[in-house]
Amino acid sequence: MAALSFEFPVYRYESWWQFVSVTMESEACDQEDALARHNAWVENIMCPSAF
C-alpha cells in the first residue's frame, strides 16, 4: 500500500483563544516555578549576550 493521507480543516477560533489565554494566565499565577521560568526568560530576552 502506498502512502495515503487524510486532512481535516481547523479554523482559527477567536472565542477559544480568549478562553485559553485567560486559563493560561490563571495557571501561570498559580505556579511560582512557572513564573520564575518566565521571569528568567524575560531576562534572557533583554540580555541576549547572556547566552
Partner 1 sequence: MGLLLACALPIRARVIPRRALECDATRAGTRAVVQHTQAQEAVFAFCRRESARVPALPAETRRTARNTASQLAESLDIAYNAENRQEYTARNAHDHDYWIVFDTSSPLRRQMIFASAFSSVSLRYAKSYFAPAVPPERTESELERIQYGIDHEADAVEHVRKKYDFVLVPPDHVKTFTRLHPSVPRVLAGSADAITTCGVLLEIKCIQTKDGFFNKIGNLGRKALDDYVDQVRALLEVYNLPLGLLCYWHGGSEGDGSAFF
State the sign of the Cα–Cα–Cα–Cα dihedral 42, 47, 48, 51: negative
> In whole angstroms, how close is the CB of 39 to partner 1 at the nearest point?
9
> In whole angstroms, how close is the CB of 15 to partner 1 at the nearest point?
11
Element (H, E) at 1: none
Q: Give the CA diameter of the chain.
A: 53
> In whole angstroms, how close is the CB of 2 to partner 1 at the nearest point?
4
Binding of residue 32 to partner 1 (CB under 8 A) = no
Binding of residue 29 to partner 1 (CB under 8 A) = no
